[in-house]
Amino acid sequence: MNFWNYIVDLNLYFVNLIQLYSDEISLAFVATCLVLFGDNINGFVSKIVKKYLFLFRILIFILLCAFGYGLMTVILHPIIHNLFLKVPRDYSFVVVAFCFIYLGIMAERKRIL
């Protein structure tokens, strides 16, 4: 078996895994994005509500964390899942790997890692 056949077989193996677990992968992608951008979202909301009473600000924060992030996950998960499924099958592993590597680079730049 030559080198390129090995690469093609390896890619096919990972493509099949990506297709099998695409729902979980898209959910992991959305969760990772929310971790990366959660401080930006919280900062944006805190700028809006900083002029209100302390108890109201706490209530808004609880609602944002309890319902806002959950709602974002429920809304964004099917969208990201459909986008991953629209990628041609042969390139799905490369695209998913690139997306998570890019998120890792962003996390490193934001000093999260």
Question: Total domain count for the chain?
Answer: 1
Q: Is residue 52 one of the residues assigned to a domain?
A: no
Q: Is residue 50 one of the residues assigned to a domain?
A: no
Q: Is residue 70 one of the residues assigned to a domain?
A: no
Q: Is residue 62 one of the residues assigned to a domain?
A: no
3-state SS of the chain is: CCHHHHHHHHHHHHHHHHHHCHHHHHHHHHHHHHHHHHHHHHHHHHHHHCCCCHHHHHHHHHHHHHHHHHHHHHHHHHHHHHHHHHCCHHHHHHHHHHHHHHHHHHHHHCCCC
- Note down the domain range covering 97: 3-42+76-109
Q: Is residue 56 one of the residues assigned to a domain?
A: no
**Mean of pLDDT values over 14-42:** 94
Q: Is the pLDDT of residue 43 over 70?
A: yes
Query: What value does the mean pLDDT of the chain take?
Result: 93
Q: Is residue 71 one of the residues assigned to a domain?
A: no
